[in-house]
Chains A and B, each alone.
Chain A
């Protein structure tokens, strides 16, 4: 186990290094940060003086070496816009993004398992066909359209839900702020979480349905029927457990993807999280923040994948992660 973790850590370092090189080398193509920092009528000379001061005129390798040296000590640079260490800014917005991801995950689990299982057990029923039809529609509507549609219906026309923002967040353990603790926060969570879930939910319904149908055809399920076991026991204990194996693998990878999708959801809902921050940083050419964001998201991917591999090993003992015979 320890060897596995160490190997993963080494991989993570390589991934981080590659991400940092790539994000660092694209920053010149994003535009000129000075333009966002100064007024329009500031002279070219003034701008050049500022660029010198910021070290933007140095050669690429000098800039990268300076960045890497600091990064090794945990300093990913200072955001031009927030004037604070970029890593602090991003980690400060992390709870808001995880709120969304967590809420969306709950929705996905809560809906996809019953719906997927039902559609597998009763594939010919009208309800199943309706679910499958809607999931096709859901998968093909872009996420910002879903968001605007939800705002239009539930905020403007019906007036049930707040239209933007995160509301009043509560504090968990005194340092982690989460909107799940207050009524106001929960109300603000509903629309963005459903929006975010709308991308993955159809995928998971379909995945669970097809996996379940396959499992229901297998020999051991037929044997269970022959033995006269209770249908509930067959469906929910024997069949469902084996259905979930591939779902966990896909789910782990998709959580990382979901973090990436928060960029759109957060932007439409003005949700003060990392994704919104990133898009703003791109618009402002806040390069230290962009680089730090990419590195943090890269780290999230590596961590979730590692955790998924570990869980997979626990659920399915036949899989050997740690080498051995």
Chain B
């Protein structure tokens, strides 16, 4: 009798322990994903959603290394081929089992997505070996196969097959219109979407059949509300209406940090903020001494400290720490005296007048940074006519290269240094698309040659050397004005242990989130 009672008590305890574990997370980001179709847009918001509802083949860990997910392991077969072995027994939300068929379906769909086709252009195809083995084949030796595998979130091919009620194929990829895939979702991820009112609220339930039984995550329901206004978002966290917010605006960092009931987690991000000096518009910018003078006149530390309130890491190059191309020897070089000397050497001691443009709602404190830079340039007698505008108007203006100095921030989609070079510093070429965002028209064939070599080099050590050399060349040429990498900041109620699940890419792995009572 006594024993039965003990067993019963034990069972009750066990049960209550289990119910205690089930936690609801109320979170607020500054925006919500534009669609449920993971291939509709390549953006932070869509990738955050993908990591909640799907799983990639491979994902980044906190130290920018690779962590196997749906691909258990992979090996190089030859210079052009990488073989992947899929995890077995993984089920989609629909109950269908995941096989190479789904990976093939997803891969082919990525190749048609306007946003992703560029990233997957290097691949010539995907060869299915058996139900759980497949090869990714590239046209040339390609070093970023695993980087790109982090973008392959296998979709449920059976679920997305057939026709919807409008007679359109369910896998149709529409950028600006209604489609089955933009309203319905079936992935393998830790959460299923249960409710969605776009721009207002998203709700998720934990996937009971989630394959990753080792995950300690104990959140069984997520309520996701976009709160656009930063003060309101912070107020919602401080008043306890939400448990987790991102991003925390720089103005409120101190406040969140000093409040007992909430925790602040920050880390250096990977988005570089720069200015480009247009050599086609301003003759003086062709002179490396003038460019050097400008770079020496900019106080990156001061901007990071005063304007960004310590919420940025001063930069002297594009690659953030952790990237292969990061060159530890390059340091910010603020030196006003030297800057003035360089201007005098170049014959511009009296300075000149230029125009500058920057967005005012795209990057953290973008307009204030531009004003500060304009002020700093005034000290070397360069008078700046600054114009700032909303991002929607800024991008077309940027495409026209409408000012002498223009601001641009960049995050490498491939998490690889070469992506910065290809878009921001390569000689502009409309046929290859290189230098698409190089409004400075900076061009150094030597750097481009190294970049092309690094693109086909599969030995990481050699690639790192090449890309670090490119950073050195850009530094010596003062190809652009580096400012800082924006830091990332998350705020959470005490007990919501976000520190282990957030990362530099800003895709919190919420499936592994633990909430302690």
A264-297 with Cβ < 8 A to chain B: 267-270, 272, 276-277, 280, 282-285
B-chain residues with CB within 8 Å of residue A75 when the two chains form the complex: none
CA distance A42 to B200 in the complex (A): 28
In the bound assembly, the distance between CA atoms of A166 and B221 in angstroms comes to 20
Contact B361 A280 (CB under 8 A): no
A145-160 vs B: 1/0 string, CB under 8 Å? 0001001100110010
Which residues of A28-43 are within 8 A (CB) of B?
29-33, 35-43
What is the chain B residue whose CB lies nearest that of A83? B178
Q: Is the CB of A151 within 8 A of B118?
A: no
Are A165 and B199 in contact, with the CB atoms below 8 A? no
Tell me if B90 counts as interface (CB < 8 A to partner A): no
A83–B176 CB distance below 8 A:
yes
Q: Given A41-B413, A268-B232 in contact, is the A32-B392 Cβ separation under 8 Å? A: yes
Known: A41-B118, A41-B423, A42-B114. A151 touches B235 (CB 8 A): yes
Judge whether B361 and A283 touch: CB under 8 Å: yes
In the complex, which range does the number of interface residues on chain B fall in?
35 or more
Residues of B within 8 A of A45 (CB): 433
List chain B residues, Cβ under 8 A from A151. Answer: 231-232, 235, 239
Rounded to whole Å, the gap between the CB of B428 and the closest CB of chain A is 11
On whether the beta carbons of B241 and A44 are closer than 8 Å, the reply is no
Name which of B71-79, B222-230, B461-469 contacts chain A.
B222-230
Contact B232 A41 (CB under 8 A): no
B399 proximal to A (CB < 8 A): yes
In the assembled complex, A210 has its CB within 8 A of some CB on chain B? no
B392, A163: Cβ atoms closer than 8 Å: no
Q: Is B236 an interface residue (CB 8 A)?
A: yes
A67 to chain B, nearest CB (A): 15
Taking a contact as CB atoms closer than 8 A, the residue among B118, B225, B241, B419 that contacts A155 in the complex is: B241
Q: In the complex, which of the residues A32, A36, A270, A280 has the most CB atoms of chain B within 10 Å of its own CB atom?
A: A270
Known: A39-B41, A44-B436, A164-B227. A81 touches B34 (CB 8 A): yes
Tell whether B352 is near chain A: CB-to-CB under 8 Å: no
Per DSSP, are chain B's interface residues mostly helix, strand or loop, or mixed?
A: loop
- Which listed residue, A31, A46, A82, touches B114 by the CB 8 Å rule? A46
Is B395 interfacial (CB 8 A cutoff)?
yes
Q: Hey, which chain A residues are within 8 Å of B114, CB to CB? A: 38, 42, 46, 49-50
Q: How far apart are the CA atoms of A78 and B176 in the complex, in Å?
A: 9
A50-B175, A83-B178 are contacts. A35–B392 as well, Cβ < 8 Å? yes
Q: Report how far A39 CA is from B44 CA in the complex, Å.
A: 10
Q: B232 to A78, Cβ gap below 8 A?
A: no
With contacts A43-B436, A268-B232, A283-B390 taken as known, whether A80 is within 8 angstroms of B239 at the C-beta atoms is: no
Shortest CB distance B117–A (Å)? 8
A30 to B236, alpha carbons, bound, how many Å?
A: 31
Q: How far is the CB of A17 from chain B (nearest CB, A)?
A: 26
Does B225 lie within 8 Å of A31, measured CB to CB?
no
Q: State in angstroms the CA–CA spacing of A151 and B413 once bound together.
A: 38
Contact A42 B239 (CB under 8 A): no
Chain B residues with CB under 8 Å of A276's CB are 228
Interface hub of A30, A32, A82, A267 (most chain B Cβ within 10 A) = A32
Closest residue of chain A to B432 (Cβ to Cβ) is A43
Give residues of chain B (235-259) contacting chain A, Cβ–Cβ below 8 Å. 235-236, 238-241
Q: Is A52 an interface residue (CB 8 A)?
A: no
In the assembled complex, the CB of B277 is this many whole angstroms from the nearest CB of chain A, namely: 21
Residues of A within 8 A of B119 (CB): 41
Given known contacts A37-B41, A42-B118, A164 and B395 CB-to-CB distance under 8 angstroms: no
Residues of B close to A277: CB separation below 8 A? 199
B229 neighbours in A (Cβ, 8 Å): 267-268, 270
Which residue in B174, B231, B413 is a CB contact (below 8 Å) of A148? B231
A54 on the B face (CB < 8 A): yes
Query: Judging by beta carbons under 8 Å apart, are A270 and B41 in contact?
Result: no
Q: Which of A31, A49, A164, A165 contacts B392 (CB 8 A)?
A: A31
Q: Does B445 make an interface contact (CB < 8 A)?
A: no
The verdict on A214 contacting chain B, using a C-beta distance below 8 Å, is no
CB closest residue in chain A, given B396: A32
Partner pick for A163 among B176, B182, B226, B236, CB 8 A cutoff: B236
Q: Are B199 and A44 in contact (CB under 8 A)?
A: no
A:159-218 near B, CB below 8 Å: 159, 162-165
Expressed in whole angstroms, the Cα–Cα distance for A49 and B119 within the complex equals: 18
Instruction: Establish whether residues B433 and A43, one from each chain, have CB atoms under 8 Å apart when the complex forms.
Output: yes
5 tightest CB-CB pairs across the interface, nearest first? Answer: A31-B392, A39-B42, A155-B239, A39-B115, A31-B393
Q: Which residues of B contact A (CB under 8 A)?
A: 34-35, 41-43, 114-115, 117-119, 174-179, 182, 197-200, 225-229, 231-232, 235-236, 238-241, 361, 390-396, 399, 410, 413, 419, 423, 430, 433, 436-437
Q: List 10 A-B contacts (CB under 8 A).
A: A37-B176, A38-B42, A41-B115, A41-B419, A82-B198, A148-B235, A163-B241, A268-B229, A269-B232, A270-B228
Given pairs A40-B410, A42-B114, A43-B433, 10 additional interface contacts (CB within 8 A): A31-B390, A35-B392, A38-B114, A39-B115, A78-B178, A155-B238, A268-B231, A270-B226, A272-B197, A272-B200
